[in-house]
Amino acid sequence: MVAKKEKFWKQMLRNTISGILEALLVIVIFLYVLPILFNLLLQKYGGGTQVPIEMYSAKYYAILFTVLGLSVASKALKGTIFRPILSSAGNLLAFLYALSFIGTGVITVENIEVSGMLLSVSIDLGIIMIIMFAFFAVPAVAMPFITYFTDEIVKEK
């Protein structure tokens, strides 16, 4: 009984450490690699535009660390149904935050004065939203459940 308990905690500790390492990898990717890549590509093709400063705001860090916390917790609870639920919840939170930058998909810049005239520009970002949905929301929310149920089926066999 004691050995079983010890094995459980060892497994839990191992999962948590691997979750933290994975979280560190995600931090490196999302806080350093992607912004650098973003800026490099935008500088090359977009005429020197930089990643919006809001991306590095306190809210961004709070959301990022909540997502990472959920990710570590889900990793620690490996083998239970809480894992895909927590993992998907974290991913969904990250996606919704990213989506909050775009809103309804139409961005409008109004009342800019150009040579004595008022300029307003509206742009429909439907394509950007479709890419975000297909490449971020669907895999991030569905993958943890697919992994969990695939593992369960394999275990049963």
Partner 1 sequence: MRFLTILIQVAGVLLLVIAAVPLIQFVETIDGLQITTQVSDNTLVFVFDYNVSAPLKNYTISVYSNGELVGSTDGEVLNQGDVVEIRVPLDRFNPANYTIHIEGSVYGLYKVSVNLTKTT
Helix (H, G, I), strand (E, B) or coil at 108: strand
Please state the closest distance from residue 122 (CB atom) to partner 1, in A. Answer: 5
Q: Which single residue is written with the structure tokens 């500088």?
A: 43
Determine the Cα–Cα distance for residues 9 and 20; give it in Å rounded to an integer: 16
Contact residues for partner 1, defined by CB under 8 A: 22, 26, 29, 34, 37-38, 41-42, 45-47, 49, 91, 114, 116-128, 131-132, 134-136, 139-140, 143-144, 146-147
Minimum distance of partner 1 from residue 115's CB (angstroms): 9
Closest distance of CB 139 from partner 1, Å: 5
**Which residue(s) pair with 102 in the sheet?**
none
Q: Return the number of the residue (2 or 92) whose C-beta is nearest partner 1.
A: 92
Q: Which amino acid is at 62?
A: A
Using alpha carbons, list the distances in angstroms from residue 75 to 14, 32, 86, 151.
10, 23, 9, 14
Q: Does residue 51 contact residue 33 with C-beta atoms inside 8 Å?
A: no
Q: Which is nearer to partner 1, 85 or 143 (CB)?
A: 143
Rounded to whole angstroms, the Cα distance separating 59 from 110 reads 26
Comparing CB distances to partner 1, the nearer of 13 and 123 is 123
CB closer to partner 1 out of 62 and 146 = 146
Q: Which of 110, 145, 104 is CA-nearest to residue 126? A: 104
Q: How far is the CB of 116 from partner 1 (least distance, A)?
A: 7
* Tokens at 125, concatenated: 């970002």
Q: How far is the CB of 121 from partner 1 (least distance, A)?
A: 5
Q: Which is nearer to partner 1, 93 or 132 (CB)?
A: 132
